[in-house]
Structure 1
Protein backbone atom coordinates (compact mmCIF):
# COMPACT_ATOMS: atom_id res chain seq x y z
CA UNK A 1 0.00 0.00 0.00
CA UNK A 2 0.97 3.65 -0.38
CA UNK A 3 1.34 5.73 2.77
CA UNK A 4 -2.09 7.38 2.76
CA UNK A 5 -3.84 4.05 2.18
CA UNK A 6 -1.80 2.53 5.00
CA UNK A 7 -2.82 5.29 7.41
CA UNK A 8 -6.52 4.82 6.69
CA UNK A 9 -6.41 1.01 6.67
CA UNK A 10 -4.60 0.87 10.02
CA UNK A 11 -7.02 3.20 11.82
CA UNK A 12 -10.36 2.20 10.29
CA UNK A 13 -12.67 -0.09 12.28
CA UNK A 14 -15.43 -1.92 10.41
CA UNK A 15 -17.30 -0.49 7.46
CA UNK A 16 -18.43 3.09 6.80
CA UNK A 17 -21.96 4.18 7.74
CA UNK A 18 -24.22 6.70 6.09
CA UNK A 19 -27.66 8.28 6.11
CA UNK A 20 -29.51 10.63 3.81
CA UNK A 21 -31.30 13.51 5.48
CA UNK A 22 -34.05 15.84 4.27
CA UNK A 23 -35.14 18.93 6.22
CA UNK A 24 -37.38 21.93 5.54
CA UNK A 25 -36.49 25.32 6.98
CA UNK A 26 -36.29 26.25 9.74
CA UNK A 27 -34.41 23.33 11.31
CA UNK A 28 -31.37 22.51 13.46
CA UNK A 29 -29.57 19.40 14.76
CA UNK A 30 -26.85 18.85 17.36
CA UNK A 31 -24.34 16.02 16.90
CA UNK A 32 -22.21 14.76 19.82
CA UNK A 33 -18.58 13.72 19.41
CA UNK A 34 -17.79 10.11 18.54
CA UNK A 35 -14.75 7.87 18.04
CA UNK A 36 -14.26 8.36 14.35
CA UNK A 37 -14.39 10.78 11.44
CA UNK A 38 -17.49 12.08 9.71
CA UNK A 39 -18.72 14.26 6.90
CA UNK A 40 -21.70 16.23 5.64
CA UNK A 41 -22.23 16.47 1.87
CA UNK A 42 -24.88 19.01 0.85
CA UNK A 43 -26.85 17.65 -2.08
CA UNK A 44 -29.49 20.39 -2.18
CA UNK A 45 -30.01 23.69 -0.37
CA UNK A 46 -27.75 25.43 2.14
CA UNK A 47 -26.47 24.47 5.61
CA UNK A 48 -24.65 26.23 8.43
CA UNK A 49 -22.24 24.00 10.37
CA UNK A 50 -21.04 25.27 13.75
CA UNK A 51 -18.16 23.47 15.54
CA UNK A 52 -18.30 23.15 19.32
CA UNK A 53 -15.62 25.83 19.59
CA UNK A 54 -15.65 27.87 16.40
CA UNK A 55 -17.47 30.09 13.97
CA UNK A 56 -20.32 28.89 11.70
CA UNK A 57 -19.29 27.60 8.27
CA UNK A 58 -21.69 28.02 5.36
CA UNK A 59 -22.10 24.94 3.15
CA UNK A 60 -23.80 25.22 -0.23
CA UNK A 61 -24.94 22.53 -2.65
CA UNK A 62 -21.95 20.36 -3.57
CA UNK A 63 -19.87 21.44 -0.56
CA UNK A 64 -18.41 18.91 1.87
CA UNK A 65 -17.54 19.41 5.52
CA UNK A 66 -15.10 16.73 6.73
CA UNK A 67 -14.74 16.26 10.50
CA UNK A 68 -11.57 14.14 10.91
CA UNK A 69 -11.78 14.00 14.72
CA UNK A 70 -15.49 13.25 15.07
CA UNK A 71 -15.89 16.51 17.01
CA UNK A 72 -19.25 17.65 18.35
CA UNK A 73 -20.98 20.20 16.14
CA UNK A 74 -24.36 21.42 14.99
CA UNK A 75 -25.96 21.87 11.58
CA UNK A 76 -28.83 24.23 10.93
CA UNK A 77 -30.70 26.13 8.25
CA UNK A 78 -29.30 29.45 9.54
CA UNK A 79 -26.22 30.50 11.54
CA UNK A 80 -28.31 31.42 14.56
CA UNK A 81 -30.10 28.06 14.79
CA UNK A 82 -31.24 26.73 18.15
CA UNK A 83 -29.24 23.48 17.92
CA UNK A 84 -27.75 23.99 21.40
CA UNK A 85 -31.24 23.57 22.89
CA UNK A 86 -31.94 20.28 21.10
CA UNK A 87 -31.16 16.76 22.34
CA UNK A 88 -27.99 15.26 20.80
CA UNK A 89 -28.42 13.09 17.71
CA UNK A 90 -25.66 10.75 16.43
CA UNK A 91 -24.13 11.89 13.15
CA UNK A 92 -25.22 8.55 11.74
CA UNK A 93 -27.41 6.23 13.79
CA UNK A 94 -25.75 2.85 13.20
CA UNK A 95 -28.97 1.11 14.19
CA UNK A 96 -30.71 2.72 11.20
CA UNK A 97 -27.79 2.79 8.80
CA UNK A 98 -28.54 3.81 5.23
CA UNK A 99 -32.08 5.08 5.74
CA UNK A 100 -33.43 8.45 4.63
CA UNK A 101 -34.30 10.65 7.61
CA UNK A 102 -36.92 13.21 6.63
CA UNK A 103 -37.46 14.73 10.07
CA UNK A 104 -40.71 16.50 10.78
CA UNK A 105 -42.86 17.62 7.87
CA UNK A 106 -42.28 21.26 6.99
CA UNK A 107 -43.18 23.84 4.40
CA UNK A 108 -39.94 25.80 4.06
CA UNK A 109 -37.06 25.41 1.63
CA UNK A 110 -35.81 21.84 1.41
CA UNK A 111 -32.25 20.84 2.27
CA UNK A 112 -30.89 17.38 1.39
CA UNK A 113 -27.64 16.03 2.82
CA UNK A 114 -25.62 12.85 2.84
CA UNK A 115 -23.99 12.28 6.22
CA UNK A 116 -21.34 9.63 6.83
CA UNK A 117 -19.26 8.17 9.65
CA UNK A 118 -16.03 6.18 9.72
CA UNK A 119 -15.19 4.50 13.03
CA UNK A 120 -11.52 4.87 13.98
CA UNK A 121 -9.09 3.40 16.49
CA UNK A 122 -8.66 6.55 18.55
CA UNK A 123 -6.25 4.85 20.95
CA UNK A 124 -3.51 5.32 18.33
CA UNK A 125 -4.29 8.36 16.17
CA UNK A 126 -1.96 8.67 13.23
CA UNK A 127 -0.05 11.99 13.20
CA UNK A 128 -1.39 12.79 9.72
CA UNK A 129 -4.98 12.64 10.97
CA UNK A 130 -4.07 14.27 14.29
CA UNK A 131 -2.76 17.44 12.61
CA UNK A 132 -5.91 18.02 10.58
CA UNK A 133 -8.24 20.81 11.77
CA UNK A 134 -11.57 20.22 13.49
CA UNK A 135 -13.50 20.98 10.28
CA UNK A 136 -12.18 20.73 6.72
CA UNK A 137 -14.42 22.72 4.36
CA UNK A 138 -14.18 21.55 0.75
CA UNK A 139 -16.23 23.93 -1.42
CA UNK A 140 -17.64 22.75 -4.76
CA UNK A 141 -15.33 24.84 -6.92
CA UNK A 142 -15.40 24.26 -10.70
CA UNK A 143 -12.21 22.61 -11.90
CA UNK A 144 -11.00 21.62 -8.42
CA UNK A 145 -10.70 18.04 -7.17
CA UNK A 146 -12.42 16.38 -10.11
CA UNK A 147 -12.12 12.90 -8.58
CA UNK A 148 -13.73 14.04 -5.33
CA UNK A 149 -16.60 15.61 -7.26
CA UNK A 150 -16.96 12.45 -9.32
CA UNK A 151 -17.25 10.35 -6.17
CA UNK A 152 -19.91 12.64 -4.71
CA UNK A 153 -21.93 12.51 -7.94
CA UNK A 154 -21.77 8.71 -7.98
CA UNK A 155 -22.91 8.59 -4.36
CA UNK A 156 -25.80 10.93 -5.07
CA UNK A 157 -26.83 8.81 -8.06
CA UNK A 158 -26.78 5.55 -6.08
CA UNK A 159 -28.81 7.10 -3.27
CA UNK A 160 -31.40 8.64 -5.58
CA UNK A 161 -32.58 5.33 -7.02
CA UNK A 162 -31.94 1.88 -5.46
CA UNK A 163 -30.51 -0.51 -8.07
CA UNK A 164 -28.85 -3.91 -8.15
CA UNK A 165 -25.38 -3.88 -6.58
CA UNK A 166 -26.07 -0.86 -4.38
CA UNK A 167 -25.14 -2.63 -1.14
CA UNK A 168 -21.67 -3.39 -2.49
CA UNK A 169 -21.16 -0.08 -4.28
CA UNK A 170 -22.01 2.32 -1.45
CA UNK A 171 -19.36 1.15 1.08
CA UNK A 172 -16.73 1.21 -1.69
CA UNK A 173 -17.74 4.72 -2.74
CA UNK A 174 -17.72 5.91 0.88
CA UNK A 175 -14.21 4.49 1.34
CA UNK A 176 -13.11 6.29 -1.83
CA UNK A 177 -14.68 9.51 -0.59
CA UNK A 178 -12.63 9.37 2.64
CA UNK A 179 -9.38 9.14 0.69
CA UNK A 180 -10.42 11.86 -1.76
CA UNK A 181 -11.28 14.20 1.13
CA UNK A 182 -7.88 13.61 2.73
CA UNK A 183 -6.15 14.12 -0.62
CA UNK A 184 -7.98 17.39 -1.13
CA UNK A 185 -6.87 18.66 2.27
CA UNK A 186 -3.26 17.66 1.56
CA UNK A 187 -3.42 19.51 -1.76
CA UNK A 188 -4.84 22.69 -0.25
CA UNK A 189 -3.37 22.68 3.23
CA UNK A 190 -2.79 26.29 4.39
CA UNK A 191 0.93 27.02 4.38
CA UNK A 192 1.79 23.96 2.28
CA UNK A 193 5.22 22.50 3.04
CA UNK A 194 6.11 25.54 5.15
CA UNK A 195 3.44 24.49 7.67
CA UNK A 196 5.53 21.41 8.53
CA UNK A 197 4.08 18.26 10.05
CA UNK A 198 3.44 14.84 8.58
CA UNK A 199 1.71 16.16 5.49
CA UNK A 200 4.85 18.10 4.59
CA UNK A 201 6.92 14.97 5.25
CA UNK A 202 4.98 13.19 2.51
CA UNK A 203 6.26 15.81 0.04
CA UNK A 204 9.86 15.63 1.26
CA UNK A 205 11.54 13.13 -1.13
CA UNK A 206 14.08 11.94 1.45
CA UNK A 207 11.65 11.43 4.33
CA UNK A 208 9.02 10.01 1.99
CA UNK A 209 11.49 7.40 0.72
CA UNK A 210 12.26 6.29 4.28
CA UNK A 211 8.57 6.12 5.17
CA UNK A 212 7.92 4.06 2.05
CA UNK A 213 10.63 1.66 3.18
CA UNK A 214 9.15 1.30 6.67
CA UNK A 215 5.58 0.87 5.44
CA UNK A 216 6.57 -1.38 2.55
CA UNK A 217 8.61 -3.77 4.69
CA UNK A 218 7.86 -3.25 8.41
CA UNK A 219 9.23 -6.73 9.13
CA UNK A 220 12.72 -5.77 7.93
CA UNK A 221 15.30 -5.16 10.71
CA UNK A 222 15.85 -1.55 9.68
CA UNK A 223 18.72 0.54 11.05
CA UNK A 224 18.98 4.32 10.93
CA UNK A 225 21.91 3.93 8.56
CA UNK A 226 19.87 1.79 6.14
CA UNK A 227 16.93 4.19 6.24
CA UNK A 228 19.29 7.10 5.68
CA UNK A 229 20.74 5.32 2.66
CA UNK A 230 17.22 4.84 1.26
CA UNK A 231 16.68 8.58 1.76
CA UNK A 232 20.01 9.45 0.15
CA UNK A 233 21.34 11.16 3.31
CA UNK A 234 23.99 10.53 5.90
CA UNK A 235 22.88 8.85 9.11
CA UNK A 236 23.00 12.02 11.21
CA UNK A 237 21.42 14.31 8.60
CA UNK A 238 18.64 11.82 7.93
CA UNK A 239 17.85 11.30 11.60
CA UNK A 240 17.52 15.06 12.20
CA UNK A 241 15.37 15.59 9.11
CA UNK A 242 13.10 12.64 9.78
CA UNK A 243 12.56 13.52 13.45
CA UNK A 244 11.76 17.15 12.60
CA UNK A 245 9.23 16.19 9.92
CA UNK A 246 7.57 13.14 11.46
CA UNK A 247 7.81 14.08 15.13
CA UNK A 248 9.54 10.83 16.17
CA UNK A 249 13.04 9.44 15.63
CA UNK A 250 13.18 6.88 12.78
CA UNK A 251 13.32 3.71 14.90
CA UNK A 252 10.71 5.04 17.33
CA UNK A 253 8.35 5.56 14.40
CA UNK A 254 9.20 2.07 13.10
CA UNK A 255 8.15 0.53 16.42
CA UNK A 256 5.02 2.69 16.61
CA UNK A 257 3.99 1.68 13.10
CA UNK A 258 4.68 -2.01 13.74
CA UNK A 259 2.44 -1.96 16.82
CA UNK A 260 -0.26 -0.02 14.96
CA UNK A 261 -0.14 -2.55 12.13
CA UNK A 262 -0.24 -5.43 14.63
CA UNK A 263 -3.32 -3.98 16.33
CA UNK A 264 -5.08 -3.74 12.98
CA UNK A 265 -4.23 -7.35 12.10
CA UNK A 266 -5.44 -8.62 15.49
CA UNK A 267 -8.61 -6.57 15.30
CA UNK A 268 -9.53 -7.19 11.68
CA UNK A 269 -8.33 -10.70 10.86
CA UNK A 270 -7.95 -14.18 12.31
CA UNK A 271 -4.21 -14.26 11.56
CA UNK A 272 -2.21 -16.36 14.00
CA UNK A 273 0.02 -14.72 16.58
CA UNK A 274 3.04 -16.18 14.79
CA UNK A 275 1.97 -14.58 11.50
CA UNK A 276 1.40 -11.17 13.14
CA UNK A 277 4.79 -11.41 14.86
CA UNK A 278 6.57 -12.25 11.59
CA UNK A 279 4.67 -9.55 9.70
CA UNK A 280 5.82 -6.92 12.17
CA UNK A 281 9.47 -7.94 12.41
CA UNK A 282 9.63 -10.11 15.54
CA UNK A 283 11.47 -13.42 15.50
CA UNK A 284 9.29 -15.04 18.17
CA UNK A 285 5.77 -14.78 19.54
CA UNK A 286 7.25 -14.11 22.98
CA UNK A 287 9.26 -11.09 21.81
CA UNK A 288 6.25 -9.76 19.91
CA UNK A 289 3.89 -10.24 22.87
CA UNK A 290 6.27 -8.40 25.21
CA UNK A 291 6.60 -5.46 22.77
CA UNK A 292 2.85 -5.37 22.18
CA UNK A 293 2.06 -5.31 25.89
CA UNK A 294 4.54 -2.45 26.47
CA UNK A 295 2.83 -0.43 23.75
CA UNK A 296 -0.84 -1.31 24.30
CA UNK A 297 -0.94 -2.20 27.99
CA UNK A 298 -2.36 -5.70 27.37
CA UNK A 299 -1.41 -8.95 25.67
CA UNK A 300 -2.21 -9.53 21.99
CA UNK A 301 -4.79 -12.16 22.94
CA UNK A 302 -6.56 -9.84 25.37
CA UNK A 303 -6.53 -7.05 22.79
CA UNK A 304 -8.10 -9.31 20.16
CA UNK A 305 -10.81 -10.52 22.52
CA UNK A 306 -11.64 -6.99 23.64
CA UNK A 307 -11.87 -5.63 20.10
CA UNK A 308 -13.60 -8.49 18.29
CA UNK A 309 -15.85 -10.21 20.84
CA UNK A 310 -18.74 -7.77 20.44
CA UNK A 311 -17.46 -5.65 17.55
CA UNK A 312 -16.26 -2.06 17.85
CA UNK A 313 -17.74 -0.17 20.77
CA UNK A 314 -19.90 2.76 19.70
CA UNK A 315 -21.49 5.16 22.15
CA UNK A 316 -24.92 6.29 21.00
CA UNK A 317 -27.19 8.54 23.04
Structure 2
Protein backbone atom coordinates (compact mmCIF):
# COMPACT_ATOMS: atom_id res chain seq x y z
CA UNK A 1 0.00 0.00 0.00
CA UNK A 2 1.09 3.58 -0.72
CA UNK A 3 1.21 5.55 2.54
CA UNK A 4 1.19 8.97 0.87
CA UNK A 5 -1.83 8.08 -1.28
CA UNK A 6 -3.62 6.61 1.74
CA UNK A 7 -3.05 9.78 3.77
CA UNK A 8 -4.66 11.88 1.03
CA UNK A 9 -7.52 9.48 0.33
CA UNK A 10 -8.77 9.32 3.92
CA UNK A 11 -8.90 13.13 4.09
CA UNK A 12 -10.40 13.78 0.65
CA UNK A 13 -13.92 15.20 0.44
CA UNK A 14 -15.54 16.41 -2.74
CA UNK A 15 -13.77 16.95 -6.04
CA UNK A 16 -10.69 19.09 -6.72
CA UNK A 17 -11.04 22.14 -8.93
CA UNK A 18 -8.72 24.42 -10.88
CA UNK A 19 -8.67 27.48 -13.11
CA UNK A 20 -6.31 29.63 -15.13
CA UNK A 21 -5.92 33.26 -14.02
CA UNK A 22 -4.51 35.94 -16.32
CA UNK A 23 -3.56 39.31 -14.79
CA UNK A 24 -1.93 42.55 -15.95
CA UNK A 25 0.16 44.69 -13.60
CA UNK A 26 -0.60 46.25 -11.25
CA UNK A 27 -2.82 43.57 -9.73
CA UNK A 28 -3.44 41.76 -6.45
CA UNK A 29 -5.84 39.00 -5.38
CA UNK A 30 -6.58 37.54 -1.98
CA UNK A 31 -8.02 34.23 -0.76
CA UNK A 32 -9.59 33.44 2.60
CA UNK A 33 -8.42 30.42 4.63
CA UNK A 34 -10.28 27.27 3.59
CA UNK A 35 -10.53 23.63 4.62
CA UNK A 36 -8.22 22.01 2.15
CA UNK A 37 -4.98 22.31 0.21
CA UNK A 38 -4.32 24.76 -2.61
CA UNK A 39 -1.62 25.28 -5.20
CA UNK A 40 -0.46 27.89 -7.70
CA UNK A 41 1.82 27.44 -10.71
CA UNK A 42 3.31 30.36 -12.62
CA UNK A 43 2.80 29.69 -16.33
CA UNK A 44 3.89 33.10 -17.59
CA UNK A 45 5.50 36.19 -16.06
CA UNK A 46 6.31 36.71 -12.40
CA UNK A 47 4.45 37.47 -9.17
CA UNK A 48 4.73 37.41 -5.39
CA UNK A 49 3.05 35.31 -2.74
CA UNK A 50 2.12 37.36 0.32
CA UNK A 51 1.56 34.88 3.19
CA UNK A 52 -0.37 35.70 6.37
CA UNK A 53 2.94 35.93 8.23
CA UNK A 54 6.55 36.24 7.17
CA UNK A 55 8.27 37.66 4.11
CA UNK A 56 6.78 37.73 0.62
CA UNK A 57 8.04 35.04 -1.77
CA UNK A 58 9.08 35.86 -5.34
CA UNK A 59 7.67 33.46 -7.97
CA UNK A 60 8.75 33.02 -11.57
CA UNK A 61 7.85 30.81 -14.54
CA UNK A 62 7.65 27.14 -13.61
CA UNK A 63 7.55 27.72 -9.86
CA UNK A 64 5.04 25.59 -7.96
CA UNK A 65 3.52 26.83 -4.73
CA UNK A 66 1.47 24.65 -2.38
CA UNK A 67 -0.54 25.70 0.70
CA UNK A 68 -1.12 22.36 2.47
CA UNK A 69 -3.30 23.77 5.25
CA UNK A 70 -5.32 26.20 3.15
CA UNK A 71 -3.99 29.32 4.86
CA UNK A 72 -5.26 32.70 3.74
CA UNK A 73 -2.87 34.48 1.39
CA UNK A 74 -2.51 36.97 -1.42
CA UNK A 75 -0.82 37.06 -4.82
CA UNK A 76 0.35 40.28 -6.45
CA UNK A 77 2.59 41.62 -9.18
CA UNK A 78 4.67 43.33 -6.47
CA UNK A 79 4.82 43.27 -2.65
CA UNK A 80 4.13 47.00 -2.74
CA UNK A 81 0.84 46.68 -4.64
CA UNK A 82 -2.07 47.65 -2.41
CA UNK A 83 -4.48 44.84 -1.59
CA UNK A 84 -7.91 46.33 -2.18
CA UNK A 85 -11.39 44.85 -2.07
CA UNK A 86 -12.75 41.94 -0.08
CA UNK A 87 -10.83 38.66 -0.17
CA UNK A 88 -12.36 35.86 -2.21
CA UNK A 89 -14.04 33.03 -0.37
CA UNK A 90 -11.96 30.35 -2.07
CA UNK A 91 -9.30 29.74 -4.68
CA UNK A 92 -11.89 29.11 -7.37
CA UNK A 93 -13.14 32.69 -6.92
CA UNK A 94 -9.75 34.40 -7.07
CA UNK A 95 -9.97 35.54 -10.68
CA UNK A 96 -12.67 38.24 -10.27
CA UNK A 97 -11.57 39.32 -6.80
CA UNK A 98 -9.66 42.43 -7.90
CA UNK A 99 -9.15 44.79 -10.81
CA UNK A 100 -5.88 44.73 -12.73
CA UNK A 101 -4.03 47.16 -14.95
CA UNK A 102 -2.45 47.21 -18.40
CA UNK A 103 1.15 46.29 -17.55
CA UNK A 104 3.14 43.05 -17.68
CA UNK A 105 1.12 39.84 -17.96
CA UNK A 106 1.15 37.02 -15.43
CA UNK A 107 -0.65 33.73 -16.02
CA UNK A 108 -1.29 31.39 -13.10
CA UNK A 109 -2.69 27.89 -12.85
CA UNK A 110 -4.54 27.63 -9.53
CA UNK A 111 -6.20 24.65 -7.90
CA UNK A 112 -7.66 23.43 -4.63
CA UNK A 113 -8.50 20.15 -2.92
CA UNK A 114 -11.21 19.93 -0.27
CA UNK A 115 -9.92 17.91 2.69
CA UNK A 116 -11.32 16.96 6.06
CA UNK A 117 -8.96 18.86 8.35
CA UNK A 118 -10.77 17.82 11.55
CA UNK A 119 -8.70 14.64 11.75
CA UNK A 120 -5.65 15.14 9.52
CA UNK A 121 -3.19 12.35 8.93
CA UNK A 122 -0.05 13.09 11.01
CA UNK A 123 1.89 13.19 7.74
CA UNK A 124 -0.06 16.34 6.81
CA UNK A 125 0.35 17.90 10.23
CA UNK A 126 4.11 18.10 9.68
CA UNK A 127 3.82 20.05 6.43
CA UNK A 128 4.65 23.77 6.55
CA UNK A 129 2.12 26.50 5.77
CA UNK A 130 3.80 27.13 2.40
CA UNK A 131 5.73 24.76 0.15
CA UNK A 132 7.71 26.55 -2.57
CA UNK A 133 9.20 24.38 -5.31
CA UNK A 134 11.26 26.66 -7.55
CA UNK A 135 11.68 25.68 -11.19
CA UNK A 136 15.07 24.11 -11.85
CA UNK A 137 16.13 22.68 -15.20
CA UNK A 138 16.04 18.90 -15.14
CA UNK A 139 14.33 18.72 -11.73
CA UNK A 140 10.83 17.39 -11.00
CA UNK A 141 10.15 16.49 -14.63
CA UNK A 142 7.00 14.43 -13.83
CA UNK A 143 5.51 17.34 -11.84
CA UNK A 144 6.09 19.83 -14.63
CA UNK A 145 4.75 17.38 -17.22
CA UNK A 146 1.54 17.16 -15.18
CA UNK A 147 1.42 20.98 -14.98
CA UNK A 148 1.77 21.24 -18.77
CA UNK A 149 -0.98 18.68 -19.40
CA UNK A 150 -3.30 20.32 -16.89
CA UNK A 151 -2.73 23.77 -18.38
CA UNK A 152 -3.49 22.47 -21.89
CA UNK A 153 -6.72 20.79 -20.77
CA UNK A 154 -7.96 23.91 -19.00
CA UNK A 155 -7.01 26.23 -21.87
CA UNK A 156 -8.43 23.94 -24.58
CA UNK A 157 -11.28 21.84 -23.15
CA UNK A 158 -12.54 18.97 -25.32
CA UNK A 159 -14.52 15.76 -24.78
CA UNK A 160 -13.39 14.11 -21.54
CA UNK A 161 -11.64 17.20 -20.17
CA UNK A 162 -13.52 17.09 -16.87
CA UNK A 163 -12.30 13.56 -16.10
CA UNK A 164 -8.77 14.31 -17.30
CA UNK A 165 -8.51 17.47 -15.17
CA UNK A 166 -9.73 15.64 -12.07
CA UNK A 167 -7.15 12.88 -12.56
CA UNK A 168 -4.33 15.34 -13.26
CA UNK A 169 -5.17 17.33 -10.13
CA UNK A 170 -4.84 14.17 -8.05
CA UNK A 171 -1.49 13.50 -9.67
CA UNK A 172 -0.36 17.08 -9.07
CA UNK A 173 -0.92 16.89 -5.32
CA UNK A 174 0.98 13.60 -5.06
CA UNK A 175 3.89 14.95 -7.11
CA UNK A 176 4.06 18.15 -5.04
CA UNK A 177 4.12 16.30 -1.72
CA UNK A 178 6.53 13.68 -3.04
CA UNK A 179 8.90 16.43 -4.18
CA UNK A 180 8.76 18.14 -0.79
CA UNK A 181 9.38 14.96 1.19
CA UNK A 182 12.23 14.02 -1.16
CA UNK A 183 13.87 17.39 -0.55
CA UNK A 184 13.71 16.83 3.22
CA UNK A 185 15.76 13.64 2.86
CA UNK A 186 18.36 14.99 0.42
CA UNK A 187 20.70 16.09 3.20
CA UNK A 188 20.24 12.90 5.22
CA UNK A 189 18.89 14.75 8.27
CA UNK A 190 15.18 14.12 7.81
CA UNK A 191 12.95 13.51 10.83
CA UNK A 192 9.29 12.59 11.35
CA UNK A 193 7.32 11.43 8.34
CA UNK A 194 9.97 12.54 5.85
CA UNK A 195 12.24 9.96 7.49
CA UNK A 196 9.42 7.45 7.99
CA UNK A 197 8.65 7.28 4.26
CA UNK A 198 12.29 6.37 3.61
CA UNK A 199 12.71 3.93 6.53
CA UNK A 200 12.42 0.36 5.16
CA UNK A 201 11.68 -1.27 8.52
CA UNK A 202 9.00 1.11 9.80
CA UNK A 203 7.66 1.55 6.27
CA UNK A 204 7.11 -2.23 6.06
CA UNK A 205 5.15 -2.25 9.31
CA UNK A 206 3.02 0.71 8.22
CA UNK A 207 2.24 -0.92 4.90
CA UNK A 208 0.95 -4.00 6.72
CA UNK A 209 -1.20 -1.86 9.03
CA UNK A 210 -2.67 0.01 6.06
CA UNK A 211 -3.13 -3.07 3.90
CA UNK A 212 -4.65 -5.29 6.61
CA UNK A 213 -6.13 -3.10 9.36
CA UNK A 214 -8.52 -5.90 10.40
CA UNK A 215 -5.65 -8.19 11.45
CA UNK A 216 -5.25 -8.43 15.22
CA UNK A 217 -1.74 -7.05 15.15
CA UNK A 218 0.59 -7.19 18.13
CA UNK A 219 3.79 -5.20 18.62
CA UNK A 220 5.74 -8.46 18.27
CA UNK A 221 4.05 -9.33 14.97
CA UNK A 222 4.62 -5.87 13.51
CA UNK A 223 8.21 -5.92 14.74
CA UNK A 224 8.72 -9.21 12.92
CA UNK A 225 7.43 -7.62 9.69
CA UNK A 226 9.95 -4.83 10.24
CA UNK A 227 12.77 -7.27 10.99
CA UNK A 228 13.32 -5.79 14.47
CA UNK A 229 12.98 -6.96 18.04
CA UNK A 230 9.85 -5.90 19.92
CA UNK A 231 11.64 -3.26 21.98
CA UNK A 232 13.73 -1.85 19.13
CA UNK A 233 10.72 -1.72 16.83
CA UNK A 234 8.52 0.03 19.39
CA UNK A 235 11.16 2.69 20.10
CA UNK A 236 11.89 3.33 16.42
CA UNK A 237 8.24 3.38 15.38
CA UNK A 238 7.22 5.79 18.14
CA UNK A 239 10.17 8.08 17.45
CA UNK A 240 9.42 8.39 13.73
CA UNK A 241 5.62 8.18 13.58
CA UNK A 242 4.87 10.09 16.78
CA UNK A 243 2.55 7.38 18.12
CA UNK A 244 3.26 3.89 19.51
CA UNK A 245 2.51 1.04 17.08
CA UNK A 246 -0.85 -0.01 18.53
CA UNK A 247 -1.83 3.62 19.06
CA UNK A 248 -1.29 4.30 15.36
CA UNK A 249 -3.15 1.09 14.47
CA UNK A 250 -6.20 2.24 16.42
CA UNK A 251 -5.96 5.74 14.95
CA UNK A 252 -5.78 4.34 11.41
CA UNK A 253 -8.71 1.97 11.98
CA UNK A 254 -10.92 4.81 13.24
CA UNK A 255 -9.84 7.15 10.46
CA UNK A 256 -10.54 4.50 7.82
CA UNK A 257 -13.89 3.72 9.45
CA UNK A 258 -14.87 7.39 9.28
CA UNK A 259 -14.00 7.49 5.58
CA UNK A 260 -16.06 4.36 4.87
CA UNK A 261 -19.02 5.77 6.76
CA UNK A 262 -18.73 9.13 5.01
CA UNK A 263 -18.09 7.95 1.45
CA UNK A 264 -19.86 4.59 1.16
CA UNK A 265 -23.16 2.92 2.02
CA UNK A 266 -21.54 -0.13 3.58
CA UNK A 267 -23.45 -1.40 6.65
CA UNK A 268 -21.92 -0.50 10.01
CA UNK A 269 -21.26 -4.20 10.65
CA UNK A 270 -19.19 -4.37 7.45
CA UNK A 271 -17.25 -1.25 8.41
CA UNK A 272 -16.58 -2.79 11.81
CA UNK A 273 -15.22 -5.99 10.27
CA UNK A 274 -13.09 -4.07 7.76
CA UNK A 275 -11.42 -2.22 10.62
CA UNK A 276 -10.72 -5.13 12.96
CA UNK A 277 -13.85 -5.37 15.12
CA UNK A 278 -15.78 -8.64 15.28
CA UNK A 279 -18.55 -6.99 17.31
CA UNK A 280 -20.58 -4.07 15.98
CA UNK A 281 -21.17 -3.01 19.59
CA UNK A 282 -17.43 -2.90 20.35
CA UNK A 283 -16.83 -0.94 17.16
CA UNK A 284 -19.59 1.57 17.92
CA UNK A 285 -18.19 2.10 21.43
CA UNK A 286 -14.65 2.66 20.11
CA UNK A 287 -15.88 4.95 17.35
CA UNK A 288 -17.95 7.10 19.72
CA UNK A 289 -14.96 7.38 22.05
CA UNK A 290 -12.91 8.81 19.16
CA UNK A 291 -15.51 10.99 17.41
CA UNK A 292 -18.11 11.70 20.09
CA UNK A 293 -20.84 10.29 17.84
CA UNK A 294 -22.27 6.86 17.12
CA UNK A 295 -21.31 5.56 13.63
CA UNK A 296 -24.81 6.00 12.20
CA UNK A 297 -25.08 9.53 13.54
CA UNK A 298 -21.65 10.40 12.19
CA UNK A 299 -22.69 9.14 8.73
CA UNK A 300 -25.81 11.32 8.79
CA UNK A 301 -23.98 14.46 9.86
CA UNK A 302 -21.11 14.01 7.38
CA UNK A 303 -23.56 13.96 4.48
CA UNK A 304 -25.48 17.13 5.29
Secondary structure of 1:194's counterpart equals: coil
Q: 1:100: how far off?
A: 6.7
CA distance in 2, matches of 1:29, 1:143: 31
Deviation at 1:161, TM superposition (A): 1.1
Residues 1:143 and 2:166 aligned together: no
Q: Give the distance between the partners of 2:101 and 2:239, measured in 1 at CA.
A: 54
Q: Deviations over 1:198-218 (max 9, x none)?
A: 121111111111101101101
Q: Within 5 A, what are the aligned runs for 1:117-136?
A: 117-136=112-131
2:88: which partner in 1? 89
Q: Distance in 2 between matches of 1:63 and 1:229?
A: 43
Alignment partner of 1:189 out of 184, 205, 223: 184
> Counterpart in 1 of 2:204?
209
Q: Does structure 2 retain, via aligned residues, the 8 Å contact 1:49–1:75?
A: yes
1:77-120 Cα distance to aligned partner (Å, 9 max, x none): 0022222x431113424xx7xx9759646311111111111111
Aligned to 2:58: 58
How far residue 193 of structure 1 moved from its aligned partner, in angstroms, is 4.7
In structure 2, the gaps of 5 or more residues are: none
The CA RMSD over aligned residues, in Å, is: 1.7
Tell whether the 8 Å contact from 1:19 to 1:101 is kept in structure 2 after alignment. no
- Indicate the residue corresponding to 1:313 in structure 2: none
After superposition, the C-alpha distances for 1:13-68 in whole angstroms (9 at most, x for unaligned) are: 11101122111100111211111110111111111001101111111111111000
Aligned to 1:3: 3
Aligned residues: 304
1:10/1:260 contact within 8 Å kept? yes
Match of 1:73 in 2: 73
Q: 2:15 is matched with which residue?
A: 15
Q: Is 1:301 aligned with 2:300?
A: no
- Summarize the Cα distance change of 1:192–1:308 in structure 2 as closer, same or farther, 3 Å threshold: farther
| Separation of aligned partners in 2, 1:104 and 1:163 | 30
Determine helix, strand or coil for the equivalent of 1:172: helix
Report the equivalent of 2:218. 223
TM-score between the two structures when normalised by the length of structure 1? 0.92
Distance of aligned partners of 1:86 and 1:103 in 2 relative to their CA distance in 1, 3 Å threshold: closer
Matches for 1:260-279 after TM superposition, within 5 Å: 260-279=255-274
Q: Report SS of the residue matched to 2:58.
A: strand
**In terms of mean alpha carbon deviation, does 190-199 or 261-270 score higher?**
190-199
1:38 alignment partner, SS class: strand
Q: Match of 1:236, SS?
A: helix
Contact kept? 1:22, 1:103, Cα under 8 Å: no
Aligned to 1:165: 160
Give the TM-score of the pair, scaled to structure 2: 0.96
